[in-house]
Amino acid sequence: MHRPRCSTAGRTRPTAGPVRSLDEPVRFGERAFTEGRDPRVGGLAPYREGLVLRDLVPRPAVFPDPASRGVRLRRTVLALPAPDAELVGRELAAHLRPYADAVDGHRAARRGA
C-alpha cells in the first residue's frame, strides 16, 4: 500500500485567537481538517515539492519515538516546541516561493487537472 508523504508546503502565521471549529473543513487530498485558525500565508512550495517531515525524524523533539511519528503528523494541529519550529522553518525555507507563484499548481491539483 502506498502511503502519502507528509510534507509541509507553506509558511503561515495564524491569526490571533484560539483554535476553533471551522465553518467549512479545509481539504488536502482525501483529508479534511475541521479545526484551525485563519492563516496568513507567507510562502508556499510548489505542489508536491514541500518539506518531507519524515526526513527530519528523529531530530525534532516533538517526535520522541520515530515509530509513532505518523500518529502525531495526522493531527489537525501539532504544537511544535520553539527549537522544532526553528528547525522546520530553516529546512522549509529552500522550498518556498511567493504564494502567487505557487498557488495555481495547488489549485490545479485540487481540480484534478
pLDDT in tens, 6-59: 667 777 776 777 888 888 887 766 777 888 887 777 889 998 888 888 788 888
Q: What is the DSSP letter of 99?
A: H
Say how far apart CA 35 and CA 59 lie, in whole Å.
27
Kindly state the cell numbers that stand for 16.
Answer: 490571533
What is the predicted pLDDT for the residue at 2?
42
Tell which residue, 111, 106, 110, 5, has the closest CA to residue 47: 106
Residue 51, sorted as left (phi over 0), alpha (psi -120 to 50) or beta, turns out to be: beta
pLDDT band at 86, cuts 50/70/90? Answer: very high
Strand 20-28 to 31-36 pairing: antiparallel
